[in-house]
Amino acid sequence: MDKKTPKPAIVYLLRHAHSAWARPGQRDFDRPLDERGIEDAQIVGAALSKLDRPPELVLCSTAARCRQTCDIVLSNLASPPRVENVDALYSNDYRYYVDLLSQQSASPVLLIGHNPMMEDTARFLSATAKDRPGERLQKGFPTAGLAVLKFEGPLATIGRGGHLREFLSPKRLRKLAQRVEG
C-alpha cells in the first residue's frame, strides 16, 4: 500500500468474560468476573497481543465485568490504547453499537460489550466471512469471544458490511495452544 491508500478499517468485538452470579441485592451492572472469566480474559488478551494491528482505541461498557475484562485484556498489550468508557453500551441494541463504531476515526477499534448486542453487531457487520469463523459465529457469541472484522473503507462506512476474518473463543484458543504444545 502506498502512503495515500489508507489501511483497511478493523474492528475487534469482544464480549465481556464470564461473570459471577449476582449476590443478593447486587445489581446486574455490578457483577464482577469469576475465576473462569479472569482466566479467559488473560487468554484472549494474549491472543489480541499477537494480532498484526493492536487496537488504537477501546470503547468499553461501564459495567463492572466489562471494565474488568478490559483491564485484564489490555494488560497483555505492549502499549495500551486509549480507553473510553461508554455507559450506553450496557443497555442499547446493536444499532447503537454500529453507530458508535461508525463515528470513530481511530482504527483498529476494540469494542467491549454485552450479548445479545455483540452477536447481533457481528452478524450485521459480517457481509462476508471465512468459512470457519462464520460457522463458529453461527453457534453463538460466547463470553470472552473475539470477532475480528475488516472493512474496505473507513469506519464511517461500516454499515455496508465487512469481512469476518476471525472469530476466537477462549475454548478455541486453548485447543490451538494444546496443538502447539503437543
Domains of the chain and any CATH numbers:
9-181 (3.40.50.1240)
Higher pLDDT, 118 or 3: 118
| Segment 50-107, tens digit of pLDDT | 998 999 999 999 999 999 999 999 999 999 899 999 999 999 999 999 999 999 999 9
- Phi and psi of 81, rounded to 5°? -80, 175
Distance (Å, whole) CA 182 – CA 96: 43
∠ CA(138), CA(142), CA(143), 5° rounding? Answer: 160
pLDDT value of position 23: 87
pLDDT value of position 4: 60
Query: What pTM was computed for the model?
Result: 0.93
- Placement of cell 494491528 in the chain: 53
pLDDT value of position 100: 98
pLDDT at 1 over 50: no
Q: Read off the pLDDT of each residue in 15-33 and give the average, rounded to a whole number.
A: 92
132 band by pLDDT with thresholds 50, 70 and 90: confident
9-15 sheet: strands from edge to edge: 82-86, 57-61, 109-113, 9-15, 146-151, 162-168, 126-129
pLDDT value of position 136: 86
pLDDT value of position 6: 67
Higher pLDDT, 66 or 136: 66
For residue 134, give Cα distances in angstroms to 1, 113, 117, 130, 166.
28, 20, 17, 6, 8
Name 78's Cβ contacts closer than 8 Å, sequence gap at least 6. Answer: 49, 54
Name 104's Cβ contacts closer than 8 Å, sequence gap at least 6. Answer: 57, 59, 155
For 38, the 3-state DSSP assignment is helix
For 97, the 3-state DSSP assignment is helix
- Phi and psi of 153, rounded to 5°? -110, -165
Average pLDDT, the chain: 92
The β-bridge relationship of strands 146-151 and 9-15 is antiparallel
Q: Read off the pLDDT of each residue in 151-175 and give the average, rounded to a whole number.
A: 92
pLDDT value of position 162: 92
Q: Read off the pLDDT of each residue in 18-41 and give the average, rounded to a whole number.
A: 93
Q: Read off the pLDDT of each residue in 133-155 and give the average, rounded to a whole number.
A: 92
